[in-house]
Structure 1
Amino acid sequence: MITKEDIIAHLCLEPHPEGGYFYQSYVSEAVVNDKQLFTSIYFLIESGNISHFHRISSDELWYYHAGNAITIHLIHSDGHYEQVKLGMNLAEGEVPQFLVPAQTIFASTVEDDSSWSFVGCMVAPGFTFEDFELFKAADLLPLYPEHESVINKYAL
């Protein structure tokens, strides 16, 4: 059985600034408006190593690959909070892929102790760190005080 250590080693995953581990697996050669058409990464997250609240300027499509379900926490531009489970337990409402819309503030976690999740993420137009915003709780609390408990849990 494959372990998270196997995935990290074999796919050359490195720590991501938002949390978890990643490897950029593809960058499109096609360019639109001075950006790659799309980019794709492998992403592994484990319990206790969350992906903190952040935002990018493009759509991000997530694909479940292995491990436990991953929870994506979203604060939409209208202030609505949503939680989505990415995984294969369809009878329990998990989904195998999910789109995080551009400009949505989001974080991701693995809720079960001692567990991990391995996913893929495709960003279109392509991801650049110039379009990446990582949030501290102090940044988000004045904007979304109704989500204080979630913000304190998943923001830096």
Structure 2
Amino acid sequence: MSNSDEANTLKLITPTFTPSSSSTTESAGVTSIIKSLSLIEHVEGGYFAVTDVSNTFVPSPYPETPLSQRTIDLVNGLPADYDASKRRLSTTIFYYLTPNRPMGSFHRNRSRIIHSLHRGRGRYVLIHPDGRIESFIVGHNVERGEKLQWVVEGGVWKASFLLADGDGQSNSDGLLISETVVPGFEYADHEFLSQERLVEVLPDSKAKALQWLVKH
């Protein structure tokens, strides 16, 4: 990507919904989806529910040391049955961004994640290990390049935020997707991007443009 292309991409990465406090009531439509799918708040932002956990285990390809102590602290420790020597073959969740919880903060995972769209629109922002910034819209207008499926490889920083359901609109019933993690998800393999790390992986001007997507 040329410098001008990347500059144009950064101009598109601006908030479209203002996050509200967790006490703010979601709309009736959003609340219905949350209730129907038994979703709960996610530490990254938005809501989630685990939908599949493989019963097959594989040897862990990762170091035994957790990727981030900050993540472990935020989720109140690893599960009692966690075994660093193995991982489940795969795990799958629903993930839902809403007008009151419209952003998934920058984070990375050791594992590969396959995403599938169910409803709504959103923008994804990726920072690759070489510092390259990638951004795209997920939505149902495939003729205009919106994605129905996308993959984020392990080690790539990922953030996402809600877009209106259509161009020129200002409303949304949320972005609902599925994420399948291979090997299966563990918080030991998860890390949030910090403001300090952001300026290490990106030049200052680019870091400033993306700092609003960093978890505080």
What fraction of aligned residue pairs are identical, expressed as a percent? 29
State the one-letter code of the partner of 1:143: V
Considering only CA atoms, is the larger Rg found in Structure 1 or Structure 2? 2
- Pick from 6, 23, 43: which aligns with 2:49? 23
- Kept in 1, the 8 Å contact 2:199–2:207? The answer is yes
- Pick from 98, 103, 106: which aligns with 1:50? 103
- Pick from 197, 203, 207: which aligns with 1:139? 197
- Pick from 18, 30, 34: which aligns with 1:8? 34
Q: C-alpha root-mean-square deviation of aligned residues, in Å? A: 1.5
- Kept in 2, the 8 Å contact 1:81–1:147? The answer is no
1:102 corresponds in structure 2 to 154
1:76 corresponds in structure 2 to 128
Structure 2: how far apart are the matches of 1:127 and 1:60?
9
Structure 2: runs of 5+ lacking an equivalent: 1-27, 60-85, 165-169
Q: TM-score, normalised by structure 2?
A: 0.67
State the one-letter code of the partner of 2:102: N
State the one-letter code of the partner of 1:100: V
Structure 2: how far apart are the matches of 1:114 and 1:24?
27
Q: TM-score, normalised by structure 1?
A: 0.92
Structure 2: how far apart are the matches of 1:72 and 1:143?
18
Q: Bigger shift: 129-138 or 144-153?
A: 144-153
- Pick from 98, 111, 116: which aligns with 1:63? 116
- Kept in 1, the 8 Å contact 2:198–2:211? The answer is no
Q: Structure 1 residue 50: deviation in Å? A: 0.6
Structure 1: how far apart are the matches of 2:134 and 2:209?
11
Q: Answer 1 or 2: which has greater helix percent.
A: 2
How many residue pairs get aligned? The number is: 154
- Kept in 2, the 8 Å contact 1:141–1:151? The answer is no
Q: Structure 1 residue 37: deviation in Å? A: 0.4
